[in-house]
Structure formats: structure tokens, C-alpha cells
Amino acid sequence: MHYIRFLKSPKSITDSRGKHVLSAVITITTDLGDSFLCSDLSLLVELEDTDGTKLVDGGRAKEYLWTGSDGFKGLPVEIPIRKQTMRASVEVKMVVRAREELRMVESFDHALGNRLNFVEDGGGVVALRGNAQGSGMVERVFRYGDGQKIQIWEEAGESIARHIWDAGLILSAYLSSVGKPLPTSRPLPQLPTLQTVLSKSDLHILELGAGCGIVGITLRQLLPNISQIILTDLPEATSILTHNISLCSPAPGHSVLDWSVPIPLPIASTQWNLILVADCTYNPDVVPDLVKTLGRLAEGNKDLMVLLAMKVRHESEAVFFTLMNEGGWAIRESIKLPLPVLGGEDEEIEIFVFGIPV
């Protein structure tokens, strides 16, 4: 999976012809920003208002060609803004997306690779939205179901902790598909134990290392039977996480939770049904504290389940499974979902459900 990102956020300027334009510089990288898209890709740049309605200020969308050599220096893009729009003080967003539908990732079905037309080298590119308000945030929008959508804002800077990562996106997409028909004939593998947990009434769900909050927010929007869901992370993620939560109705709760210190009493004293953990095992230095935290949450709660999603990035992540086994946890079920990568070697997301044997 690749993600369009701003190297320079959108800015309203007057060009050499005296016309008002929204200008930016973009790049296209993997989720951690550790490599650029090396393939050529046709892009569209458009304007939207805050409700997501397309604005045709400059006529048709402008087309640009990303080439593999654009990664380090970035690709300058711009889109005209009509004087009427400027006078009306309408807040506009620049939208940058892949031109070909087969390359777009703007829905959970797209993220899962579920399209009506299947092609080899089916990797997609996640679209990007940003405004000229200087907020330091950019927006990702994913459609699902019958017209619903998830809106997730990220920080525009280099902090990968406040960006969407692949396993969180794919887990969210998978959860949105549970028990629902897909637009292709390729069924997704099932997790019956997880489905049983999610079908319970009066659900209490906790997310660890929530980042931008995409997994917990998705589940809150999907399940009316959730009585309580709290998204947790370190203090540095509070700003972006609480911003995304504020856009939800009903909204999840939020709490700061550092795995290396005692668990706050309101969290420690709750009988949770499910713990969400996505993209949290990449750093082996924090894995012992993560597993200890899961163990504390399971004290006196033998029915607790842990839902883990990960993209294996290096062999050292295997320590998580060793420590979980030593802590009395067992894998109840697991699946692997393909993650096509445009112009590169395909990857996969692994999803596990852990429980404590009785």
C-alpha cells in the first residue's frame, strides 16, 4: 500500500498570470515513509468543500504524472480557485488521488482489494485531502457499506506515530466487511471466535496504541451493541486522537495509557470483552511492556480476547508471540490478508485472536 502525502501543505497563492491557485508539493510513500513509489502513476488534483462536494472552479480536475524519480524532491501540484469562491470565503480542500479507479484506495473495499475488475499488480494508493488553513493536519476518507464513511485526520509532519499504518487500515476494512457481501466473488477468510465476541450485547472494548484511532473509531461506528469503547495511546498522540474522536457520533472515549506504568484505575477495574492491538509489535523494545499490560487487563477476566493485526517488518517481532505464550495466552484463530504493493513485492497483514485457555 502507498499513501499520497504533502511535503508542502496546500497554500493559497497568486500565480504568474494573476490567478488564484491552491498549491502544494506531494510525495507518495509506504506507510512508514521508508520508501517511495517507484512506478509511474497518473494523478488527479481536485477541489472539495468541507462537506466533500466537488468544486469545479478550474473546470475539470488537473492531471499530473508521478514518476519514480519524484520521490525525494516531490511533485508540485496546483488547482485554480475562482474569485467567487475566494470572495465567499468558502473553505476548500485540495484532493489528490490516483486517476485510475483500479489504483484508488478511497473505500474499505478498495483497501481489501475487493474490486469488480481484478488485475495483477493490484496495489493501490490512498488519496489525500488538505486545506490551506495551516492546521498541520491532513485527512483520509474511506467509504464503506451503503454510503457511510470514516474520516481520519493525520498529522502532516514526519511523525509516523500519528499516521495511518497498513495493519490498522486493513483491520478496519476487514471489520467493516464481517457478515456483509462483498463486490467480488472472492470471499474473505472468517474469524468465527471474533464474530461471536462482536455479537455480544453490552460490549466493552479497549484499544491499545490507537494512534490516529482508525480501528476503534471504525468499530464504534459499526457496532450499536458497544456500551463502552476507550482508545488509548501515549500523550504525544492525544491531540490527533481526540480530534478524530470529536468528529464521531457516538464517540469513543479516550485515555492516556503508557504500558510501562500502572494502568489507570478506571481501565484496570473494567471487565473488557476485547482488546484491540494494531501495528504495535514493530518495536521489540516495548513488546514486554505491551504483553505485561495485556496480562494485567486479563487478571480476573479469563474471557478476555485480544484482536491483533500486524504487518511483519522484521524477525524480531516474533518475541511478541514468545512472550504471549509465556504469559498464558493462546492463538484461538488467525488469518492472512494479501496486501498488494504497486511496483513492489506483495505483502500481507496477519490478524490473530488470542485468548487464555480455561
% of the chain at pLDDT higher than 70: 90
Cα(337)–Cα(344) distance, integer angstroms: 17
Q: What is the pTM of this model?
A: 0.93
What is the predicted pLDDT for the residue at 187?
A: 78
- At 120, the pLDDT band (50, 70, 90 cuts) reads low
What is the predicted pLDDT for the residue at 58?
A: 53
Q: Does position 355 have pLDDT exceeding 90, yes or no?
A: yes
The arrangement of strands across the sheet holding 253-256 comes to: 253-256, 226-233, 203-208, 274-278, 305-310, 347-355, 330-339
Tens of pLDDT, residues 237-247? 999 999 999 99
Q: Does position 19 have pLDDT exceeding 90, yes or no?
A: no
Q: Does position 268 have pLDDT exceeding 50, yes or no?
A: yes
Q: Does position 357 have pLDDT exceeding 50, yes or no?
A: yes
Helix (H) or strand (E) holding 44: strand 41-49
What is the predicted pLDDT for the residue at 185?
A: 45
Q: Which three cell numbers stand for residue 145?
A: 457499506
Mean pLDDT of the chain: 89
What is the predicted pLDDT for the residue at 116?
A: 47
What is the predicted pLDDT for the residue at 53?
A: 76
Maximum average pLDDT range among 2-16, 86-100, 143-157, 284-298: 284-298
- Average pLDDT, integer, range 132-144: 85
- In sequence order, the 6+-apart residues with CB closer than 8 A to the CB of 342 are 2, 37, 39, 41, 103, 121, 123, 124, 125
% of the chain at pLDDT higher than 90: 67
What is the predicted pLDDT for the residue at 98?
A: 95
What is the predicted pLDDT for the residue at 84?
A: 58
Tens of pLDDT, residues 55-82? 765 556 899 999 988 777 899 999 888 7
Average the pLDDT over each of 49-63, 100-114, 143-157 and give the range with the smallest value. Answer: 49-63
Cα(219)–Cα(306) distance, integer angstroms: 14
What is the predicted pLDDT for the residue at 197?
A: 96
- At 307, the pLDDT band (50, 70, 90 cuts) reads very high
Q: Does position 118 have pLDDT exceeding 50, yes or no?
A: no
Q: Does position 121 have pLDDT exceeding 70, yes or no?
A: no
- At 113, the pLDDT band (50, 70, 90 cuts) reads confident
